[in-house]
């Protein structure tokens, strides 16, 4: 649980609040007011709250930080989080585009699968559904799977939905 200090006289953390050392009285009232204002303005920063309340990254490994250290780390962590979120968004967007491309080729691929000898029956053992099957990617598109026939199998809608983006049906 990180505790942030300002000049080692004002300390704050979402889990313990704001407190001052006795030697804060050596500062001017204006300086004390400013330090308290800064402490209260950062006490609910989401990364700090996460670290204090749930021992979550990225601040969970820090016990004490100066305000300057905290602000530098916060800026770095927020940039890293923004990059991760942008990457996830891009992956979702391009996976969707790839799925759309696959959907446009679906009829041709189904015929190719049948011509290559893949039986038109759900591949899940014990399931005998052989109507209105879906085409499942053994290695899902979201995990880098291809649209090659070797990576495709027939599944009933129920089993395909249950499988989701797993590589193995459970």
- Bridge pairing between strands 134-137 and 3-6: unpaired
Half-sphere CA count of 166, side-chain side, radius 13 A: 9
Phi, psi of 137 (to 5 degrees): -90, 120
pTM value is 0.56
d(CA 50, CA 28): 33
Tokens 């446009």 label which residue?
A: 104
Closest to 154 measured CA to CA, from 100, 114, 103: 114
Domain limits of the chain? 3-81, 118-170
Q: In tens digits, what is the pLDDT along the chain, a chain of 170 residues?
A: 788 999 999 999 888 889 999 999 999 999 999 999 999 999 888 888 877 666 567 777 788 899 999 999 999 989 998 999 999 999 889 888 888 888 888 889 999 999 999 999 999 999 999 999 999 999 988 788 888 999 999 999 999 999 888 887 65
């Amino acid at each position: 649980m990180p505790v942030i200090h300002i000049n080692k006289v004002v300390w704050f953390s979402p889990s313990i609040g704001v407190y001052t050392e006795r030697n804060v009285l050596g500062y001017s009232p204006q300086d004390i007011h400013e330090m308290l204002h800064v402490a209260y303005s950062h006490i609910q920063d989401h990364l700090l709250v996460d670290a204090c309340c749930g021992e979550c990254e990225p601040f969970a490994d820090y016990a004490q930080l100066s305000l300057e250290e905290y602000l530098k780390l916060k800026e770095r962590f927020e940039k890293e989080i923004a990059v991760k979120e942008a990457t996830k968004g891009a992956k979702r967007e391009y996976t969707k585009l790839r799925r759309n491309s696959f959907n446009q080729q679906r009829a041709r691929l189904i015929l190719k699968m049948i011509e290559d000898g893949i039986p038109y029956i759900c591949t899940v053992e014990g399931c005998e559904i052989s109507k209105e099957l879906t085409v499942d990617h053994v290695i899902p598109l979201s995990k880098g799977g291809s649209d090659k026939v070797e990576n495709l199998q027939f599944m009933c809608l129920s089993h395909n939905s249950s499988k989701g983006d797993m590589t193995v049906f459970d």
